[in-house]
Amino acid sequence: MICLLARFFIKDYKSVKLPKVRQGYGIISGLSGIAFNIFLFISKFFAGIISGSISITGDAFNNLSDAASSIVTLVGFKLSGEEADAQHPFGHGRVEYISGLIVSLFIIIMGFELGQTSIKKIITPVKVEFNAVVAVILIISIVIKLIMFQGNLQASKLIESAALRSTALDSISDVFTTSIVLLSNVFAYYTGINVDGYFGVLVGFFIIKTGFGAAKDTISPLLGEPPSREFVDDVKRTVLSHKEILGVHDLMVHNYGPSRIIMSLHVEVPAEEDIITIHDIIDDIENELRQEYHCTAVIHMDPVATADEETLELRGKVGDILSELGKELSFHDFRIIHHGDGNKRISFDVSVPYKFEKNDDEIREYLENHILELQPGADLDITVDKTED
C-alpha cells in the first residue's frame, strides 16, 4: 500500500537512498497510519460499548495509541529529513530511531494498561453481548491491519527503516490480538462462559511483547551496531574492483541515521607506486563510495612492499605461525621498518574474532615468541583488531 502510494506522491520514488525519498515514505506511512487507526478506534470503541467487552474496548484504545504512534513516526521522519546545522553537524537522521523508540514505549504502556484493566474484569466480570455488527467490525479491523502490516514491512525493507519495521510489527501484533478478541467473544457467545478478562490479559501480553521487540530494533542502532555482512562485502567489492588496491581492512561505519553514513577504511597499495597516482585513485574511490552509498568516505592508505624479498619471505612465515594459532585469524598491513642503527621493526595488524579462545595479550605473546625466534632482537609492533568472524 505505502509503496503503491509512493508511485503517485514521491518524485524519484525508486531512489530510496535519497533522504528526501526516504522521508516521503515515512510521511505516507504516518498519514495513512493516523487515518486508519482513528477509523479503527472509533469503530472498535462503538463495538466495545454495545457489547460491553473490555477486550474489545482495550483493543480500541490500542488503536488510539497506534494513531499517536503514527503521529510520532510522521514527526520523526519530518525532522530526520532536516539538513545539518551548527548544533547538529551530522544531520538529524537519528530522530527516526528515537521516534521508533517512542512508538515502542507507547505499545508497552498500552499493553500494561490493558492487562491491568483485564485483571479487574476477571475479578468482577461483566456480561458481554456479542452480535453480527461487532463481528463484522472486528473482521474489517483484522483485514485493515494486515494491509498496514504488509505495507509498512515492504516499505521498511525498501528504505531500511527501523521505525517502519516497528510500525509493521505493531500492526501484525494487532492482527493477533484482535483475532484473539474475536475468538474469545465467539467462544463466550456459544458456551456462555465469560472469558473476556482472561483474553484481555492475553492480548495485553502480546502487545507488551511486541513493544519490547520493537524497542530492541531501535535501541540497537542508537547504541551503535556493526554494519551488515552484505554491506561490508559490497563496499570491499567496490574498492577492490580497482586493480591498484591490494586489500581492504579496518572498515568502520558510523550511522547518524539511515542514509546518513560516515565510513572510514584502510586500503593496502603497492609501496612502489607513485604516491600522487595512488592519491588520485583513492580520491576516485571515495567519490565512488559517496555516490553509491550517499555517505562521507575517508580512506587511509597503507603502503605494502610487493617486491622486497625479505618482506615477502617473512610475511609468509608469519602467516604460517598465525595459521597454527588459529585458522580463523588473519593479518594485514605487514611492514618491516629498518632503523638507522641497523635494528628493524616488524609491524602488522591481526584480525581476531570476538569469541576467539585466547585474549589479546596471549595472542601477542604467542606471536612475539615465535617471530623473535626468526628475527632475534627485532622490535615488534602487533595490533589486535576485533572482528565478527
Tens of each residue's pLDDT in the chain, 389 residues: 787 887 777 888 788 777 778 888 888 888 998 999 999 999 999 988 888 877 788 778 878 878 877 887 777 777 766 777 777 777 777 777 777 788 778 778 878 877 887 787 788 777 777 788 888 999 999 999 999 999 989 988 888 787 788 788 888 878 887 887 788 778 878 887 877 778 778 777 877 887 787 788 778 777 777 777 888 889 999 999 999 999 898 888 887 766 678 899 999 999 888 889 999 999 999 999 988 887 889 999 988 888 888 889 999 999 999 999 988 898 988 988 887 667 889 999 999 988 898 899 999 999 999 999 998 888 999 999 888 76
Do residues 35 and 127 share a domain?
Answer: yes
| CB distance 131 to 54 below 8 Å | no
Residues 349 and 331 in one domain: yes
Strand order in the sheet with 295-304: 247-255, 261-270, 295-304
Helix (H, G, I), strand (E, B) or coil at 226: coil
Q: Which of 250, 276, 304 is the last residue of a domain?
A: 304
Classify residue 305 as exposed, middle or buried by CB count within 10 Å of its CB (0-12, 13-18, 19+): middle
Phi, psi of 201 (to 5 degrees): -65, -40
Name the 3-class secondary structure at 248: strand
Q: Which CATH number do you get for residue 327?
A: 3.30.70.1350
Q: Are residues 13 and 137 in the same domain?
A: yes
Do residue 38 and residue 162 come from a single domain?
yes
- Based on the domain organization, do 320 and 290 belong to the same domain? no
In a shared domain, residues 322 and 267: no
Domain containing 326 equals 309-387
Among 223, 242, 259, give the residue marking a domain's end: 223
Residues 84 and 125 in one domain: yes
Distance CA 114, CA 59 (A): 8
Q: Give the number of domains in the chain.
A: 3
Do 280 and 157 lie in a common domain? no
Name the pTM for this structure. Answer: 0.59
Neighbours of 33 (CB within 10 A): 28
Among candidate residues 165, 191, 223, the one where a domain is terminated: 223
Over residues 187-228, the pLDDT tens digits come to 878 887 877 778 778 777 877 887 787 788 778 777 777 777
Residues 150 and 39 in one domain: yes
Which residues, at least 6 apart from 10, have a Cβ–Cβ distance to it below 8 Å?
21, 24, 25, 28
Q: How far apart are CA 154 and CA 32, in angstroms?
A: 15
CB 163 within 8 Å of CB 218? yes
Residues 213 and 245 occupy one common structural domain: no
Distances (CA, A) of 298 to 255, 263, 264, 290, 349: 14, 6, 5, 10, 20
Claim to verify: residue 180 and residue 315 sit in the same structural domain? no
